Amino acid sequence: MFVIGKEETSFVEVDANSDFPIQNLPYGVFSTSSQEPHVGVAIGKKILDLTRAEQDGFLKGTSGHPLFDQPRLNTFMQAGRQEWTHIRQQVFNHLKSGSDLSNNQELQDQLLVNMEDATLHLPVDVKEFTDFYSSYYHAYNVGSLIRGPENALMDNWKHLPVAYHGRSSSVILSGQDIIRPRGQIKPADSDTPIFSPTQRLDFELEMGFFVGTGNEMGQPIPTSEASDHIFGMVLVNDWSARDVQVWEYRPLGPFLAKNFATSISPWVVTLDALEPFRTSGMTQDPVPMEYLQVEGDQAYDIKLEVHLQSEMMEEPKLIGKSNTTNLYWNISQQLAHHTITGCNTRTGDLMASGTISGEALDARGCLLEMTELGKKPLKLTSTETRKFLEDGDTVTLKGYCQAENYRIGFGEVTSKILPALSMS
């Protein structure tokens, strides 16, 4: 692991509130009007072109094989932690103040791209998608609304990280609009279901991690080794059609209510960048089984925000704040549990946290909780309220770790809701 000191600076100008100081160096994929998708690293308002740097011999892996000659991060992710550290050190050395690159304007013109001139792409070829249910307050709030506070948590919840397998084909990049899905819905006053666009479309404030190096079938990943298999993290909005889910989920769980779209942020922030923000996380009681036990701080202090803007609003409104410290099960436990059966994971597997909610009313991570099943509409403006999302609404999630003189940010994941497609 390679952690960059808080005193380090880049020759590239970086605003104090930028998500992308030299301590971050997140990976993504971008293109310009003159080139096909390349792998890059965000620094301030610019992108360092790693594909071009490797082609020109300015960046070299330890094996001598190309790492960035594909329009996704998978080849690099599969190379493993030693290679991740090696490349991160090189990128830092090139971008730090006083580097050779800082004194070579011609080379800067070749390798540094203005972010505003770039189009961002899905950074990873996503192989599989798993969505956990790991936030204590989210599970408690939703359980209380459905079953009452005394039965809020199922009897298994504090013993294992609950999850379901999702759909990787519908993982999309921030900025792509969401078409309101249709499905079967059973109205409360009807004995039979109807076919209709969802009336209870919701966002879910989540974080996710990408598996970098997987495991062989039959060989579980222990919690002590999990971080060596995790390449980095992204913001996740795992959209949900609540009314479709209520009718369909028995007995096998979510299906169409969750398969239509999962949005992620474009920059993958490495665990190296997050290392200074490790924290203890929530106390687990009862003590987990041995294969789920961890040593040291395994949680991260990542501040999360939800912003909502209707078509009538001039600017977004901050409607919720949370933090990844509200996760009861951390990412090492999630990966260890996922593989304890001997399930093999692969480079590019995405695993999301589930909705991350805090204890306070304004720390809830979805409208289902914020409005208490739609019974208490959320006030947006003097004339607008929301029970669930309406057509034209734009949802933006943000996340960052705050240090004394810099922040490690994830950018944002934002999408607009479009009307359901006509069936005629």
Instruction: Give me the phi and psi of 400, to 5 degrees please.
Output: -165, 155
Burial of 256 (0-12, 13-18, 19+ CB in 10 A): middle
Q: Is 138 a catalytic residue?
A: yes
- Distance CA(85)–CA(79), nearest Å, equals 11
Continuous segment of H or E residues that includes residue 173: strand 171-173
**What letter represents residue 353's amino acid?**
S
Tell me which of 38, 86, 94, 138 is the catalytic residue: 138
DSSP assignment letter at 275? G
Q: Checking DSSP bridges between strand 350-352 and strand 129-132, what pairing results, if any?
A: parallel
**Displacement of CA 224 from its chain's centroid (Å):** 23
- 420 burial (CB, 10 Å; 0-12 / 13-18 / 19+) is middle
Residues contacting residue 107 through CB under 8 Å, at least 6 positions apart: 58, 101
Question: Is 395:414 a contact under the CB 8 Å cutoff?
Answer: yes
* Strand blocks (E) in 255-390: 262-264, 269-270, 278-279, 299-300, 303-309, 317-323, 350-352, 378-379, 385-386
Please give the positions annotated as active site.
Answer: 138
